[in-house]
């Protein structure tokens, strides 16, 4: 058995087409959705993510602007920029790119964002609303995964789901969304004993722990749906070999590195019923859902 590929890029294109139509109606009514992004420091991965996000907004007809701040920016200075965006009526969504430098109080900054503009869904008010099953904004990566499962006809009610990872950004909200869809949910993490015994119970397995190739064949029940949220850069050929499908090995040799997930894709796709690739799986959906959240924020403004 070879797993069916869950094409996140195709689903993301469909979502962005839908959002573009929603944005066009708002623009015709004189209200162009706007996203303000705050980027602190010169982390190259963060800069790439921000460019992708603002480009997606612009392609959908939204107004997107990014304020780049030096790495030495203090919590107070960043807080002042958040408050400035809170007051701007042309900015409907605010995104503070994570991670922030270690000296910045990230919890305080996220708590200062107007909950009505918190398109990442990280403000404590929006987290609480999600728990109560009446969300204003759902964090983009878990929301994108739910869209992917729904658009591929994957039933969740009554099924056993395991989420590997307990981050505020992915693991915890993912578990909430699966629970709200009537799955029976277990959250596993770095301290879980006999991880493979836990994950083999899953009909739907979401790997979001940030460790390249942690999940292998021994972790997966035959016929399970496997969603790989990991995005890890590997440069060591020996480490990369079991993580790359044959068709990606030439590209690795050319570039000297590869982006891989938390799942050992070549072996897991032989036992799973369906699987997301890395790249091209969850990543594009995260950006598409950010654009959709921004348009929804403008609709509510």
Cα separation of the two ends of the chain: 49
CA–chain centroid gap for 299, Å, is 23
Active-site residue, 120 included: yes
Active-site residue, 53 included: yes
Catalytic residue (one of 114, 120, 228, 262): 120
Where does residue 131 fall: left (phi above 0), alpha (psi -120 to 50 degrees), or beta otherwise? alpha
Catalytic residue (one of 53, 172, 228, 262): 53
Distant-in-sequence contacts of 180-183, Cβ < 8 A, 24+ apart: 180/133, 181/146, 181/156, 181/157, 182/156, 182/157, 182/158, 183/156, 183/157, 183/158, 183/159
Catalytic residue (one of 97, 118, 176, 228): 97
Place of tokens 């403004």: 301
As annotated, the active-site residues are 53, 97, 120
């Amino acid at each position: 058995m070879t797993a069916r590929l869950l094409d996140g890029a195709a689903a993301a294109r469909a979502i962005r087409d839908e959002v573009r139509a929603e944005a066009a109606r708002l623009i015709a009514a004189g209200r162009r959705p706007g996203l303000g992004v705050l980027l602190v420091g010169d982390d190259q991965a963060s800069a790439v993510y921000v460019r992708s996000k603002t480009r997606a907004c612009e392609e959908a007809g939204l107004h997107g602007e990014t304020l780049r701040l030096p790495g030495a920016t203090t919590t107070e200075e960043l807080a002042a920029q958040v408050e400035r965006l809170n007051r701007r009526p042309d900015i409907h969504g605010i995104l503070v790119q994570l991670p922030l430098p270690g000296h910045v109080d990230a919890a305080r900054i996220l708590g200062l964002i107007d909950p009505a503009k918190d398109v990442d869904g990280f403000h404590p008010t929006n987290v609480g609303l999600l728990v109560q099953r009446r969300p204003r904004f759902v964090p983009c990566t878990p929301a994108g995964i739910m869209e992917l499962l729904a658009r591929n006809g994957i039933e969740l009610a009554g099924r056993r789901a395991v989420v590997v990872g307990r981050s505020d950004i992915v693991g915890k909200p993912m578990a909430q969304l699966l629970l709200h869809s009537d799955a029976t949910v277990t959250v596993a993490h770095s301290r879980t004993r006999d991880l493979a015994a836990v994950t083999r119970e899953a009909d739907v397995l979401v790997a979001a722990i940030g460790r390249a190739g942690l999940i292998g064949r021994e972790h997966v029940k035959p016929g399970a749906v496997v969603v790989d949220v990991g995005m890890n850069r590997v440069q060591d050929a020996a480490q990369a070999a079991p993580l790359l499908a044959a068709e990606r090995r030439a590209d690795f040799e050319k570039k000297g590195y590869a982006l891989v997930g938390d799942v050992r894709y070549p072996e897991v796709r032989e036992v799973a019923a369906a699987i997301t690739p890395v790249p091209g799986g969850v990543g594009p959906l995260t950006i598409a859902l950010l654009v959709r959240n921004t348009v929804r924020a403008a609709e509510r403004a």
